[in-house]
Structure 1
Amino acid sequence: MKETKESDSDHYSSDDDHYSDDFENSPKKSPTKDTSTKDTSTIDTSEAKEKEQDPGPEQKQEEQEETKDFTKEDSLPPSSGDWKEIPFNSIEIEEQIGGGGVGLVHRGYYQDREVAVKTLFDPKVNEALKAEFMNELIQTSRCQHPNVVSVIGACNQPPHLCFVMEICDCSLFDLLHTSHTNSFTPRQRLDMCTQIARGMEYLHYGLKPPLVHRDIKSHNVLVKDEGRTLKICDFGLVGTSTVTAGTPNYMAPELFQSQPFSKAVDVYAYSIMCAEIFTQQLPFRGYDVEDIRKVVVEGERPELLSIDVPDRVMDIIVRGWSGKPEDRPNFHEITEEMEKALEETPEVSALEEMDMLMSGGGGDALDGLM
């Protein structure tokens, strides 16, 4: 098996280096064994039976999409995005704030609006590099959703290939692991998971053809509006035929085994990231690639204490990181369950309210983000 390499992320904040350094230099932790082989979905069995006996055309199409083999070159039909052509000289480029993959991300201004500009300044832009750049631009520009980063426009004239996007405050990784503010209520954590689920549901079911992200991780979720809004970004791996591409710490076992894959790989990565949100611990911290491959294939998962996670969410996470793709829930169900859990969780628990009163505090955990 070829060595799996972590893909560079294109998030738009300044602390890119902490991620890989932490993985390489930190002590190992005991992961949790994945023993889930059973679907504990709350769907009414009589309704499911009725659908099974007489599936409609929409259900048949959805089932075919769920099991589609995305390793085939023709699995993602050609698609085109919709963006405004922007002359390069109308963009003001400032300091670099992120980067990876095929380009760098800079802070910039376009028509007096602060933006993020992903650039390709290499004077030797070849056809392969331009094709990779255009693929990401096309896939990103297809998306119109509150929880997916939006494209404002692009310049696709070499050597100044760039696209202009909305700018965000930082990445979810920064918020969880490098921000001086690192205290969140259970409801805030739930809200993070719910927003990401909504964005993923849109990518999988709101777009035709669907978009399988392939690199869901905390680096590739951006934080905006002082922590109130989360947005999925970085579509550089969409459509790649390389099965082992991605970030090892979030990769599903079927990818490590070079098996055909489907939307379920995003469900697995999402579940790993949900555990990261609730524990604020990097998944498989300190493990090298081969160690991660070994333990993931054997069924081990990051440590997650049930006392910290609502039952609905724990069920989604455990089923979502199942070693069997067919046992994982889809993002229709995930979003529904996360929203129900959010409704059931108060803004502040009685214990937290008492702690706040005793300490004389009461500020929002995200107040210090900016």
Structure 2
Amino acid sequence: MANLSSDESALIESLPIISEQECDRLIERGVLCGSGCFGVVYQSYWNCQKVAVKLFTHPEMNAKHLLQELLLHVQCSTHPNIVRVLAAGPNVPTDCRFFLMEYADCFSLNEVLHRLPEVSYKLAHAISWTLQVSQATDYLHRGRSLPICHGDLKPANMLLFDNGRFVKLTDFGTAGPLIVEHARRPATLVYTAPEIACVKSGSQLRYTEKCDVYSLAISLWEFLARQRPYETPGFGSSGPTFWNIFHKRPPKLRNCPPLLQNLMESGWAKEPESRPSMLQISNLLEFVLQHVLLRGSQLTPLSVPTELPNPVIEFRENGDLEDWLPEQQDA
């Protein structure tokens, strides 16, 4: 078991505990809604509310790692843009194998972008999502006594609520302190900063807040283009390589305002010290959203269906943002 302080132990022990039998019942009457390298996620009902049951099945995810993820998530979930953990089990803190969390009624941004092409959104939504994630991540970097790097910012870890107008950050499995060196943690290559991606897995290195800035810049491009990064001419169809990550970036977007293009390019700069901070990003985007895009009006609610299509469908171009498609790259 991880060495917890008395305050950390009290925080963990304040969570409701779900027994293994109760978790099995939640899964039996639930619906599978996602899976990953960590395990699976089910939608179910607990205490008369819809919840996400995150079940860890990966053999290398030991109790110490899961307890640390749970602790970080609970500590950070006081921020309005971070998903709340509601319960855990089966015997926290000695045995931690599943979490119960808020259920995102509008799914993740990854699903809205690429599995729900009928969901139409505007530039203001993309800027608002990026702003909210930058504010949540700035809290991780500066708002805690022990600053942490999220380490895996991407649309799949950004969950939508309130008809697509509210974003909450989730998945602290790769999060860790900024002030100490530790082993490179696995994360999604496309969104990983080159100073991390090009280091051998398991090697010791120090994460900085600029790693998260890089990931957010790539995500912003994806919001605007509504295409997956690097699935564009010039990068091949086999996915990103280390060479692409280190030397190339997503193509420029047609008709993109210079301010946003410059923000993305500075955010994914090769040298970490050339990237802005999350605070600088949030200050800029808040001004753009309130004084340029919304001008006193409210963000329009999105028409998000209650269920995802099955099987997975391919994305079709959406008319609202078709002018933002990437520029054609030279062969």
Establish whether TM, by shorter chain, passes 0.5. Answer: yes
Other-structure match for 1:64? none
Which of the residues 267, 272, 289 maps onto 1:342? Answer: 289
How far apart are the structure 2 equivalents of 1:336 and 1:329?
Answer: 11
2:216 corresponds to 1:276 = no
Query: Relative to structure 1, is the Cα distance of residues 315 and 306 closer, same or farther in structure 2, using a 3 angstrom cutoff?
Result: farther
Other-structure match for 1:153? 87
Q: What is the 5 A alignment of 1:250-269?
A: 250-258=191-199, 260-269=206-215
How far apart are the structure 2 equivalents of 1:243 and 1:203?
Answer: 19
Query: Relative to structure 1, is the Cα distance of residues 244 and 195 closer, same or farther in structure 2, using a 3 angstrom cutoff?
Result: same
2:116 corresponds to 1:116 = no
Other-structure match for 1:313? 260
Quote how far apart the aligned CAs of 1:325 are. Answer: 0.3
How far apart are the structure 1 equivalents of 2:31 and 2:62?
Answer: 23
Q: Secondary structure at the match of 1:345?
A: helix
Quote how far apart the aligned CAs of 1:121 are. Answer: 6.3
How far apart are the structure 1 equivalents of 2:293 and 2:188?
Answer: 34
Query: Relative to structure 1, is the Cα distance of residues 246 and 287 closer, same or farther in structure 2, using a 3 angstrom cutoff?
Result: farther
Q: Secondary structure at the match of 2:176?
A: coil
User: CA deviation digits over 1:224-278, x for unaligned, max 9?
Assistant: 1221111111111123933262111111111133264311110000000001001
User: CA deviation digits over 1:196-241, x for unaligned, max 9?
Assistant: 1111111111122112111111111111122111111111112393
Other-structure match for 1:295? 244
Deviates more, 1:232-241 or 1:144-153: 232-241
What is the root-mean-square deviation of aligned Cα atoms in Å?
Answer: 2.7
Which of the residues 259, 271, 295 maps onto 1:324? Answer: 271
Q: TM-score, normalised by structure 1?
A: 0.67
How far apart are the structure 2 equivalents of 1:164 and 1:230?
Answer: 18
Q: Which amino acid aligns with 1:264?
A: K
Other-structure match for 2:329? none
Calculate percent identity across the aligned residue pairs: 27
How far apart are the structure 1 equivalents of 2:45 and 2:117?
Answer: 28
Q: Which amino acid aligns with 1:317?
A: M
Q: Which amino acid aligns with 1:321?
A: W
Other-structure match for 1:355? none
Query: Relative to structure 1, is the Cα distance of residues 368 and 115 closer, same or farther in structure 2, using a 3 angstrom cutoff?
Result: closer
Quote how far apart the aligned CAs of 1:366 are. Answer: 1.6
Q: What is the 5 A alignment of 1:195-206?
A: 195-206=132-143
How far apart are the structure 2 equivalents of 1:297 and 1:265?
Answer: 13
Other-structure match for 1:105? 41
Other-structure match for 1:87? 18
Give the structure with higher Rg (CA): 1
How far apart are the structure 1 equivalents of 2:166 and 2:136?
Answer: 11
Which of the residues 122, 139, 142 maps onto 1:185? Answer: 122
User: CA deviation digits over 1:323-344, x for unaligned, max 9?
Assistant: 0000111111111001011023
Bigger relative contact order, structure 1 or 2 (CA pairs below 8 A, ≥6 apart): 1
Which of the residues 70, 78, 83 maps onto 1:137? Answer: 70
2:318 corresponds to 1:366 = no
Deviates more, 1:194-203 or 1:178-187: 178-187
Q: TM-score, normalised by structure 2?
A: 0.74
Other-structure match for 2:110? 173
Quote how far apart the aligned CAs of 1:368 are. Answer: 3.8
Other-structure match for 1:224? 161
Query: Relative to structure 1, is the Cα distance of residues 288 and 138 closer, same or farther in structure 2, using a 3 angstrom cutoff?
Result: farther
Query: Relative to structure 1, is the Cα distance of residues 164 and 186 closer, same or farther in structure 2, using a 3 angstrom cutoff?
Result: same
User: CA deviation digits over 1:257-312, x for unaligned, max 9?
Assistant: 326431111000000000100111101125546x53102222x210132623x443
